[in-house]
Structure 1
């Protein structure tokens, strides 16, 4: 029970006791007064009738005597009148009905008002004429006492209600600062920090609010400092300080992981002679400005799959898994166009001081060979007449023709129309090998061929066709889960194009409202790039998901080298760390970065899940670094081995 209710309840109890005491005193006083009034009236009427009856009795005029009795005792205040003549023992008796209407029987049985009997001897001088006995009637006293009781009860109930309303308003106003402290304390318990509370006028509460505001500010600063430290460590280990892009170390980690998993797609190496010349001729300050100008444009090409890094002063590399030759050529031209803007050539006739080399990847390549081929491609591009772009094809055994974006779109539309989309699931487990959730992966099976989502998602994303695919996936999964009691939630990945589609957001809101029973069985996983590039639409989608009782997580957390401060604002249920942070656990600097990032998320009660965990040893090391969830090859191995 809340303090407000306890205080109000006890005040009302005390008030009720006081009112009950006043009611009892007033009730007994009224009752005593009515009994005394009944006795007084009886005494008066008996004394007065004696004088009226004596002359008639002396003259033996009994008819007149009866008339006097009937006239005197005609009201309902008496139950019986008995006149006994002493000389002849003749009696005159009058009985009056005792009917009490509109008074409950329980009241009469609970409240006892006894009839009063009074007897007197009528005389004429020294001569005794008759005995007069009068018995009063308690009916009038009952009626008056019942009316008085009703008035008292109504008056006291009204007073009690009015007092309760006034007390509730007063207590609510007095305890409002305390309620604000309680609400803010609950928010802080979930690591949600609020604005400072206004200082109340009550001395005790004023001191409490001042102390609470100070504690709230200190905790908020502590969490912000931790987030800043995590960002600082991450920048030192993985980010180029000038461009803000990934550095060579991070790029090597990405390339190593990419080449180990049957890579498709390719890399693009951009060499800017303009930047190199400015460093040599004008110094670092001007060269850094050109780098920053170029990277502001290059960041527009970044997605959750695409990694952009700065190799040295004037070289930039882009990794594009699952990209086709045409897509790489389009991206290379975009990069070349961005580089052309560095030239101060308003007429556009000066030669372009840049070259771009493209290398299609092969599973037989090493990192050293891949970088060497990229350098060769750049050198080859310098000799191109039309545009300084060269594409180097390494995979000579390739027999499958490349599929373009429009072909992928046609294939996806056909798969949706003919239900050719199938699903696989990968479990995410905790440190005790208990399943947290299952992530759903879609693939298209057409005839004997299978196409995983990584092959076609980037193509339909570029065509802004992800919404249709996401709607189909959500509809299909919800229909499959109807009537089932799935104990493990299923995570659905949402594409970036859907998050930026207001029509999809409205559709999803209606879908979630209509399927509220699914909130325990379905999670939504959003790519981190959306929190960087499209924070407004992403915040709206997160709010809709949360308001409907569903939960969401962030995929590829930490991939885009932005501040992680958005965690405190949006509060996802979990984050899946980019595998680059969890793949080199023997490097102490990178381990410190991972531990700092994980601590920042854990302090906000956000579950951290490591992706691509391949071995039990890797899982054990990650557990020591406070990682709470694991997903990868080791997952099925541990779950099935239990």
Structure 2
């Protein structure tokens, strides 16, 4: 029971007791007063009647006697009059059949008033003439008692309702700061640190609110300090201080993560010797400023083509990692890269298409970091040797389909639900048992089984993400995959679905009509959070309110504040796969620890991904991780019903 209801109930009981006590006193006083009044009337009536009957009794006139008694009966509440003539013992009895009007019979049956009788001897001088006995009728008492009690109950009821109403309004006003304090405490418990509460006038509540504001401020400061620590570690260990781009260490770990999962794309290595001319002519300060401006221009120009990771890996060498892109998109990326560099070369007074070279290695088959770096470097050296702007490392793997063929085949596959499913268990770190399963899809085209990394770039390019997500969710639900195990099933959402408000409405309707929404998880890539935070917040609110769960995938990959965790409040985060390749002696382990502390500080589960061997998992033993995922427990095919 809430404090408001407790106080309200206490006031209700106290007021009820007060009214009951007053009613009891009023009842007794009224009963006593009416009884005395009836006794007084009876005495007066007996005395008056005795005096009036003396002449009639002396003369023995029974008719006159009866007339006088009847007059008395007509003027008051009397039940019986008995007259005994002492001369001959004759008795006369008069009974009054008065009925009490407007008084319920059950009230009369309570027996509140006892019968009252008065006996008197009528004399004439020393001679006793007769004995008269008058019994009062209690009807007058019941009538008056009922009238008084009815009026009293009506007044008390009105007072009671008014008092209860004022008590409710008054308590609501008085306890409003306490209610606000309760809501504020819930937000603090959920690690949501909003503005300070206004200080109430009540002394006790004022001190309590001030204490909560202080605690909230301190907790907010702790989270901010953790966020600042993450930013500082990133800047220290993973960012080039001149260009503010990621450094070689970050790029290598990012490539590791990219190659550890099915994907597509390419690696560009660019050597810019014209920057050395700028250094020799204008000094290192102008060179550094030129590098900084060049980094800004590269981001502005290339991000419009496709998202990529741009890193400065040496004094005059840059690396460009383009993920989830098909060949035509890579060609467009290369054209924009050359165009942007030529503009900056011309501004520096150098000749376009000279003194910079580009080597491109496109991902194909199973590759490791050494393979892709070696291919890109060979292409770069070939470009330098042949005095060409770029060289594309020869790749014998032919493109499966052109863009129009991909559009037709993917659209047909989505409409006819031709996808197969696999899932990979996510293991609890303590019990080593599955706590969740991540769903993957495959597609068979022209007799070839394609993994998501092969066709997902075309899904994004052709804006088929929303269609695909709806198709997969409906297929999973149709085959009852959510109900096959007790652990939840995680589904990755595409960028298009996350930003599509029509998809938000559809998923809201789907979850509300689902029997077990608590067994459904949706994973949102961290890049989507930074690119469209408002859409992510809207989608996450829908998922949470429907009883389902969601998590952040590739956590820690992006350079930015972790403050979004307070707004989204995900159930879990998955550390980016690049952290699985951090060696114990590397400074990046400090960054990983800081990221884990940020999530743990907000009571968010942390899952490490990309675990291939037990030795990798052992490196995270002291970070209090909740679960792990990787090819240490590979995906398995799902047999559909």
TM-score normalised over the length of structure 1:
0.90
Q: CA deviation at 1:134?
A: 1.3
Structure 1 residues 571, 259: closer, same or farther in 2, change over 3 A?
closer
- Preserved CA contact (<8 Å) 1:259 1:363: no
Which residue is equivalent to 1:407? 405
Which residue is equivalent to 1:310? 312
Structure 1 residues 36, 492: closer, same or farther in 2, change over 3 A?
same
- Counterpart-to-counterpart distance in 1, 2:381 and 2:253: 25
Q: Deviations over 1:68-111 (max 9, x none)?
A: 22221135622222222222333222223364566556544555
Q: CA deviation at 1:136?
A: 1.2
Kindly indicate whether residue 129 of structure 2 is the aligned counterpart of residue 129 of structure 1.
Answer: yes
- Counterpart-to-counterpart distance in 2, 1:217 and 1:336: 50
- Counterpart-to-counterpart distance in 1, 2:101 and 2:291: 103
Q: Deviations over 1:147-191 (max 9, x none)?
A: 322322332233233223223333333333333222222211221
Which residue is equivalent to 2:72? 72
Structure 1 residues 412, 328: closer, same or farther in 2, change over 3 A?
same
Q: CA deviation at 1:384?
A: 8.2
- Counterpart-to-counterpart distance in 1, 2:110 and 2:514: 58
User: For structure 1, which segment, 316-325 or 451-460, has the greater mean C-alpha deviation from structure 2 after superposition?
Assistant: 316-325
Structure 1 residues 195, 167: closer, same or farther in 2, change over 3 A?
same
What is the DSSP-based 3-state SS (H/G/I as helix, E as strand, rest coil) of the residue aligned with 1:433? Answer: coil
What is the DSSP-based 3-state SS (H/G/I as helix, E as strand, rest coil) of the residue aligned with 1:440? Answer: strand
User: For structure 1, which segment, 421-430 or 612-621, has the greater mean C-alpha deviation from structure 2 after superposition?
Assistant: 612-621
- Preserved CA contact (<8 Å) 1:526 1:552: yes
Which residue is equivalent to 1:474? 473
Which residue is equivalent to 1:543? 541
Structure 1 residues 373, 617: closer, same or farther in 2, change over 3 A?
closer
Structure 1 residues 140, 340: closer, same or farther in 2, change over 3 A?
farther
Which residue is equivalent to 1:174? 174
- Counterpart-to-counterpart distance in 2, 1:365 and 1:160: 83
Q: CA deviation at 1:135?
A: 1.1
Which residue is equivalent to 1:196? 196
Alignment of 1:145-294 (within 5 A): 145-256=145-256, 258=258, 265-294=265-294
Alignment of 1:419-430 (within 5 A): 419-430=417-428
2:574 to 544, 569, 576: 576
Alignment of 1:570-609 (within 5 A): 570-609=568-607
- Preserved CA contact (<8 Å) 1:263 1:363: no
Residue segments in structure 1 that go unaligned for 5+ positions in a row: none
TM-score normalised over the length of structure 2:
0.90
- Counterpart-to-counterpart distance in 1, 2:464 and 2:350: 36
User: For structure 1, which segment, 256-265 or 316-325, has the greater mean C-alpha deviation from structure 2 after superposition?
Assistant: 256-265
Q: Deviations over 1:574-629 (max 9, x none)?
A: 11110111222423422221111101100001111111222334334323212112
Residue segments in structure 2 that go unaligned for 5+ positions in a row: 637-641
User: For structure 1, which segment, 357-366 or 245-254, has the greater mean C-alpha deviation from structure 2 after superposition?
Assistant: 357-366
- Preserved CA contact (<8 Å) 1:262 1:363: no
Which residue is equivalent to 2:558? 560
- Counterpart-to-counterpart distance in 2, 1:99 and 1:50: 26
User: For structure 1, which segment, 76-85 or 565-574, has the greater mean C-alpha deviation from structure 2 after superposition?
Assistant: 76-85
- Preserved CA contact (<8 Å) 1:240 1:247: yes
- Counterpart-to-counterpart distance in 2, 1:262 and 1:528: 18
Kindly indicate whether residue 376 of structure 2 is the aligned counterpart of residue 378 of structure 1.
Answer: no
Q: Deviations over 1:332-386 (max 9, x none)?
A: 112223323424569999556643321133557664554343234235446889x
Q: CA deviation at 1:263?
A: 7.3
- Counterpart-to-counterpart distance in 1, 2:574 and 2:189: 23
Q: Deviations over 1:226-267 (max 9, x none)?
A: 111022213323233333433211222233455566875432
User: For structure 1, which segment, 82-91 or 450-459, has the greater mean C-alpha deviation from structure 2 after superposition?
Assistant: 82-91
RMSD between aligned residues: 3.1
- Preserved CA contact (<8 Å) 1:516 1:549: no
Kindly indicate whether residue 415 of structure 2 is the aligned counterpart of residue 417 of structure 1.
Answer: yes
- Counterpart-to-counterpart distance in 2, 1:615 and 1:453: 24
Which residue is equivalent to 1:498? 497
Structure 1 residues 567, 635: closer, same or farther in 2, change over 3 A?
same
Which residue is equivalent to 2:321? 319
Structure 1 residues 367, 219: closer, same or farther in 2, change over 3 A?
closer
